[in-house]
Amino acid sequence: MDNRIIIFDTTLRDGEQALPASLSMKEKCQIALALERLGVDVIEAGFPVSSPGDFASVQEIARVVKDSTVCGLSRALEKDIDACGEALRVAEQFRIHTFIATSDIHVSNKLKKSQDDIVDMAVAAIKHARRFTDDVEFSCEDAGRTHIDYLCRMVENAIKAGATTVNIPDTVGYTTPTEFGGIIGQLFNRVPNIDKATISVHCHNDLGLAVGNSLAAIENGARQVECTINGIGERAGNCSLEEIAMILNTRKAKFGLETKIDTQEISRTSKLVSQLCNMPVQANKAIVGANAFSHSSGIHQDGVLKAQNTYEIMTPESVGINKNNLNLTSRSGRHVIKHRLAELGYQSQDYDLESIYTLFLKLADKKGQVYDYDLEALLFFDQQKQEY
């Protein structure tokens, strides 16, 4: 089986639709260009039929992005697909992504149609999209809660109709990794023509399992992952791009899979998306949180100063951060104080470590975090004390 994982980014579609205020066209283009630099294979730029503004943004992104495939979303309706085709035709390479819900809950309560009608609508939509491009993706919305027999039927028909990528979304983040991986495994066992398309997954994070479910799907044969920067998206968000990319990168020996992501672009892309979307990243967020490469306890700080891999499974440099951060707190030991003073230009013969460390602990107990300027003030205070 192919060892390449296609990274399909939907920050500008699933991510953007969940923001309280929409992004301007200029902001969307800035993000699209950052995603292209990051090495994303497919950028889902928006939902062209949804508004004139979205149409114009998708069109502009299609014009400026050269190295990634630009994609637009459409329901399984001709007018949506036509809007996608029209917005995207200026692109170097583009994809039309069409979807319809397949779970009983959605088919009977939302669409109020029969299962046969849904298959017919999906087939017609895919065939219509193929008039514009050979690169057509079809999604079975709420696949995670779709009966497996019907899901197999949908996937088989979608591929027959010409879908080159078939996406299996866990739209409401309901499944667990064993279940979701099992769904993908069953598709590979049961759908006769499955090797004619790329199987993709799109996991939401309602139970905090979006990344785990995407990984389980990859282990069962999925070769495209849909994700967003910082995991932004509807409700609790989507599978986070930086997490899935760094799992595959850090555990290459285990999975043997490659992405085209330039991991050193991760940090600045995350910051750009956070700022433009006005969505702060939680401090303890994996890979891109402010604390992801910070060490606080004395034992950990001493460990990383002796050998970085004692408490770091990947380097900060590998995701584009200059260096790790050793927080100076009352849990810090003498080793880190000496190290920080050396970084600030003080040699060990310039000060009395025991005396500075005693002053440091007193201050840290009162203040919590001790900053470089505090440390320099303590040095000065200690020298004054010795002189008088």
Q: Going by C-beta distance under 8 Å and a sequence separation of 6 or more, which residues neighbour residue 172?
A: 142, 144, 145, 204, 206
CB of 169 to ligand KIV, least distance (A): 3
Contact 363, 351 (CB under 8 A): no
Residue 95, contacted partner among ligand KIV, Zn ion, none, CB below 5-8 A by kind: none
**75 near ligand KIV, rule: CB under 6 A:** no
CB of 137 to ligand KIV, least distance (A): 9
Of 46, 72, 85, 169, which one interacts with ligand KIV (CB under 6 A)?
Answer: 169
**141 near Zn ion, rule: CB under 5 A:** no
- Long-range contacts of 105-112, Cβ-Cβ distance < 8 Å, separation of 24 or more: 105/142, 105/145, 106/141, 106/142
Contact 103, 71 (CB under 8 A): no
Piece in contact with Zn ion (CB under 5 A), picked from 10-18, 143-151, 174-182, 345-353: 10-18
**Looking only at residues 200 through 239 of this chain, which bind ligand KIV when binding is defined by CB under 6 A?**
202, 204
- Burial label, 90 (beta-carbon count in 10 A; 0-12, 13-18, 19+): middle
Instruction: Answer yes or no: is 202 a known binding residue.
Output: yes
- Burial label, 322 (beta-carbon count in 10 A; 0-12, 13-18, 19+): exposed
CB-wise, 203 or 314, nearer to Zn ion? Answer: 203
**9 near ligand KIV, rule: CB under 6 A:** no
CB of 158 to Zn ion, least distance (A): 18
Residue found by looking up tokens 């949180």 in the block: 289
CB-wise, 122 or 336, nearer to ligand KIV? Answer: 122
Q: Going by C-beta distance under 8 Å and a sequence separation of 6 or more, which residues neighbour residue 296?
A: 327, 329, 331, 332
**99 near ligand KIV, rule: CB under 6 A:** yes
Count of residues interacting with Zn ion (CB under 5 A): 1
User: In which region does residue 340 sit, left (phi positive, over 0), alpha (psi from -120 to 50) or beta (all else)?
Assistant: alpha
Residue 99, contacted partner among ligand KIV, Zn ion, none, CB below 5-8 A by kind: ligand KIV
**Looking only at residues 14 through 53 of this chain, which bind Zn ion when binding is defined by CB under 5 A?**
14
Of 9, 36, 60, 141, which one interacts with ligand KIV (CB under 6 A)?
Answer: 141
Residue 139, contacted partner among Zn ion, ligand KIV, none, CB below 5-8 A by kind: ligand KIV
**242 near ligand KIV, rule: CB under 6 A:** no
CB of 258 to Zn ion, least distance (A): 25
CB-wise, 14 or 243, nearer to Zn ion? Answer: 14
**171 near ligand KIV, rule: CB under 6 A:** yes
Binding-site residue set:
14, 202, 204, 238
Binding site for Zn ion (CB under 5 A): 14
